[in-house]
Amino acid sequence: MSLKQKLHDTWVGVYESVTPPRTVSAFRSKGVLTPEEFVEAGDNLVNKCPTWLWDAGEPEKRKPYLPPNKQFLITHNVPCFKRVHTMEEDPSTETEQMMGEDGEEGWLATHGAASETRQDEGEIPSMEGPSTEAPKEEAKAGPSRGAAEADDEDEVPDMDEFQDDNNLVEDDAATFQIPYLRAEEPGDENILRTRTYDLSITYDKYYQTPRVWLYGYDEAKRPLHPEQVLQDVSQDHARKTVTIEDHPHLHGKHASVHPCKHSLVMKKILDVICAKGADPRVDQYLFIFLKFIASVIPTIEYDYTVDFDLGPSKRQS
């Protein structure tokens, strides 16, 4: 942790200790949440997506402005099938789109229709292998040859012609040797090595927004080193908006998506949604939030929310 980050964390700690939490809703106007709105949005996420759960965390680390049994949200064993660099090298991956007016305050949307594109690439090969002209001719000659073979089968050979019974065994052994049925161990290059992550969402009192934390494991369930975790983070955000810090409720270092731009991005996204005639509710905040966080961790398959209902509702402030 750099000196600048330590000084910032110290200042945030002092500020939070002397400043009460937000009590006035500014969901629409600023893209922020009160603790009560965070709980409301978390309840909706847990209800619609049972992979997410509320957690009470360590007793000594609980925040008094949140319910004791609803300190943060967590989902376990989220798969991560590939590294980000392989996605960035894949020409079929959808081009990044910028949320916002410029690169400094915008947010990269790196996910999208890449999976749909892959489904249209090429045809599924036949299980019988590539076709040639020879099988066509053979198929045409099939009926006449089949009739000739039927005639030959009518002539049952005399068993006395087989003077040595051992010939039967030898012939059978030679005939039924099928080497391609032998089981072989697959090579290492054919094994899909899947990482898994525990993702948690906390409420950041200073920035008044949710904050995402990552803790990863390799295929042998060993914790990942910080450098390995950053392999699964968009390189536009690694070491910039993603840092390695102490979790506010759990022990140990976690990778964290820093919330300094969260309210700004959420405000812009909400403005776009409203401009299209929808009326997003505060309890849908985390569904929208998780959509844009996917731009930071595009290969971690945590988002099963698909779409969400943005129908009419009582307008928030």
Q: What is the mean pLDDT of residues 242-257?
A: 92
pLDDT higher than 50, residue 276? yes
The two three-digit tokens of residue 109, written as one number: 């949307």
CA–CA gap between residue 302 and residue 282 (Å, rounded): 21
* pLDDT for the residue 175: 42
Side-chain half-sphere CA neighbours of 164 within 13 A: 5
Q: Residue 104 contacts by C-beta under 8 Å, 6 or more apart in sequence? A: none
Task: Look up 49 and say whether it is catalytic.
Answer: no
* pLDDT for the residue 108: 45
Q: Comparing 35 with 193, which gets the higher pLDDT?
A: 35
Q: Extract the runs of DSSP E, i.e. beta strands, from 205-311.
A: 209-217, 242-246, 253-257
pLDDT higher than 70, residue 95? no
User: What percent of the chain is modeled with pLDDT above 90?
Assistant: 45
CA–CA gap between residue 302 and residue 79 (Å, rounded): 7
What is the four-CA torsion angle of 47, 316, 268, 70, rounded to 10 degrees?
Answer: -40
Considering only CA atoms, which of 174, 220, 192 is closest in space to residue 299?
Answer: 192
Q: What is the mean pLDDT of residues 92-119?
A: 44
Q: In the chain, what are the domains? A: 25-89+193-293 (3.30.1460.50)
Catalytic residue among 49, 80, 260, 274: 260
SS3 4: helix
The angle subtended at Cα 150 by Cα 146 and Cα 152, nearest 5°, is 115
Q: Residue 33 contacts by C-beta under 8 Å, 6 or more apart in sequence? A: 22, 27, 41, 203, 208, 209, 210, 282, 285
Q: What's the whole-model pTM score?
A: 0.66
Q: Comparing 176 with 292, which gets the higher pLDDT?
A: 292
